A and B are shown apart, each in its own frame.
Chain A
Amino acid sequence: MNKKVVLIESDPWLGEHFGQLLAGEGFKVKLVSDAYAAMDAINDEQPEVICMSLTLSGANGLSLLHELQSYTDTAAIPVVVWGDRTSQVELEDLRPYGVRRLLDVATMEPADLPATLRSVLA
């Protein structure tokens, strides 16, 4: 597949794990851990898809999503988000921010992330 993806996860272990899952499925992954690094990586990499945690350290995930929507080029990139039940956010709330899928980390299977990215890229 070899599609470029920017993966944003504050927890380095979880980020590495998701990165390995995606790399194993043929994605070219750029892993970053915060919103500021994400903006740089998105500008540099011009990814086909962005996947990220909703609960980032520092500037939060919604701030980043809002920032991405501020620019024509980044607003067009599909976004996949993961969070848990405590975040109490629905996909419909996130659609205006360019989010195409919302994954629940409490129930998702390891194969779900690459499958979801493939589906939004199809």
Chain B
Amino acid sequence: MATVQGSNNRGEYDIDESSLLAAAAGELSSPLVLLRQLSLMLSGDDIAPAERKRLADQLTLTSERALRLTGNIVFPTHTPRLIELEPVNAVSLCNDVVHELSPLFTAHGKNIVVPRRVRVPLLIANRELLRRLLVALGDNALHYSSDTQPVKLTITSRGDRVRVGVRDYGPAVPINTIKRLEERMKQRAAVIVPRRPQTSGVALLGASRLAEAMGGVMGMTRHQDGATFYVDLKVSGQMSML
């Protein structure tokens, strides 16, 4: 198992804009092409009601996917303003993320879960940004799960930090790729992950920037049967009231 972490330097927002724009254009074009195809099919005359509903549902899911991608593109290109941080219940938030992503996973015959956990660590974060970050990572993991091995949101305490991760069961990422990922994150450039062609480089870059904005660090742990993309955030000193 190997681990690497992204950069956490503050005040540096030099983005490799050409790289980001190229990756963003490439990633956004696919859902737009699909939306067009689906709408053309939906406008056909001889469509059975069940097929019409399937097409409509797919239109909705594809639109939502495109909107999430847009959010991932917009955030990295702007210097984050002052972000309000607060104690956040990680388990509650992870449950919200699972609830939000479940329709998408179900539509693809997949599953995403939060394992049960007795202790509930509070962490310091911006709830909305952390939600967006985890949704981006969950979205990214969609194609690396199965009925028997769902994508898992994981929460672990590590000293004064809490690690919230998204564990998938995709192809193992080679060590040299991990080092390249680290460099790309430091350069704030979109990432291409070999052997994982369905991984969104824009989403990973966006997630990395969201983590930074909350004083956290994003990283990846390599497993033999997949990977965990995670964010480390400060634990709250406040006693859990939940």
| Interface residues in chain A, defined as those with a beta carbon under 8 Å from any beta carbon in chain B | 10-14, 17, 33-34, 55-58, 84, 86, 105-106, 109-110
| Interface residues in chain B, defined as those with a beta carbon under 8 Å from any beta carbon in chain A | 25-26, 29-31, 33-34, 36-38, 40-41, 58, 62, 65, 143, 192, 194, 197-198
From A56, A57, A110, give the contact of B37 (CB < 8 A).
A110
From B26, B34, B198, give the contact of A17 (CB < 8 A).
B34
- A58-B192, A109-B40, A110-B40 are known contacts. Are A13 and B197 too (CB-CB below 8 A)? no
The binding surface of chain A is classed by DSSP as loop
Q: What residues on A are CB-neighbors of B25 within 8 Å?
A: 86
Q: A58–B194 contact, CB under 8 A?
A: yes
Shortest C-beta distance, B12 to chain A (Å), equals 28
Q: B62–A10 contact, CB under 8 A?
A: no
Q: B33–A105 contact, CB under 8 A?
A: yes
Q: B198–A10 contact, CB under 8 A?
A: yes
Q: What residues on B are CB-neighbors of A33 within 8 Å?
A: 197-198
Q: What residues on A are CB-neighbors of B34 within 8 Å?
A: 11, 13-14, 17
Q: A14–B192 contact, CB under 8 A?
A: no
- State A55–B194 Cα separation when bound (angstroms): 15
Shortest C-beta distance, A26 to chain B (Å), equals 18
Q: What residues on A are CB-neighbors of B41 within 8 Å?
A: 110
User: Which residue on A lies nearest to B31, using beta carbons?
Assistant: A13
- A109-B40, A110-B37, A110-B40 are known contacts. Are A14 and B30 too (CB-CB below 8 A)? yes
